[in-house]
Amino acid sequence: MTSSELWSREAADRYDAGETEMSSAAVLGPTIAFLAEVAGDGRALEFAIGTGRVGVPLRESGVPVAGIELSEHMAAVLRRKIDEDTLPVVIGDMATTVVPGEFALVYLVYNTLSNLLTQEEQVECFRNAARHLRPGGRFVIELGVPPLRFLPPGQVAVPFDVSERHLGFDTFDLVRQVLVSHHFTRDGDDGSYRRDRSQHRYAWPAELDLMARIAGLELERRVADWDGTPFTQDSGKHISVWRKPL
């Protein structure tokens, strides 16, 4: 049983409306170009495909795409956009669910690896990616770098968005390597707010490289964003590519 938290029907129905910036051409253009280049002439499998923010436009670009999604409600939103024959989705967790066939690319975007709340499950996710990859295939992850540099001694919370309609901050359990994202979102014009929270297990790039090695994958490259900006100690996230040896 996965430790990932499930999206409810209500949360799934409002997900796309809350992610308009992440669904913009400025964000998706470089993302799709990067993934399509890695996939080449092969098939792609998205772990935790959600409502298809990335999977649908990648399929429309010409790359055959399949998906795994834990939440039936998120998959139902995706199904309103594209049919099963064009983009098949298997309901299940990304650590153990198996999709038939081999893939040139398995990918996991937008910090979704952190939805698995234990190291053991994250290792199994890497193993599951390797299980689906053909020799020479690649596993791509987009993941934030833990913002622990912003924690003064004794502080356990870091704000990541303070705007008119939204307040977001993370609290950290440094022993378990778990952060909780807290969201207070203005709901309508009557002054009321909606409160949401979600748990995530953060991991450093070096820990991910060890997980990849356990799964038989080799680090090929790591960049700071989908445009290929070099990854440095100041980067807030990374795009990492591991390769299954020939």
**What are the residue boundaries of the structural domains of the chain, listed by start?**
9-145+203-243, 148-198
pLDDT score at 18: 77
- Round to whole Å and give the CA distance between 34 and 150: 30
CA distances to 108, 169, 186, 234 from 164, rounded to whole Å, are 31, 14, 8, 28
pLDDT score at 242: 98
- Round to whole Å and give the CA distance between 119 and 125: 10
Cβ atoms 142, 108 nearer than 8 A: yes
* 147: number of Cβ within 10 Å: 14
Positions of the chain with pLDDT under 70: 1
What's the CATH code, domain 9-145+203-243? 3.40.50.150
Torsion angles phi and psi, residue 245, rounded to 5: -60, 150
Note the pTM of the prediction, 2 decimals: 0.94
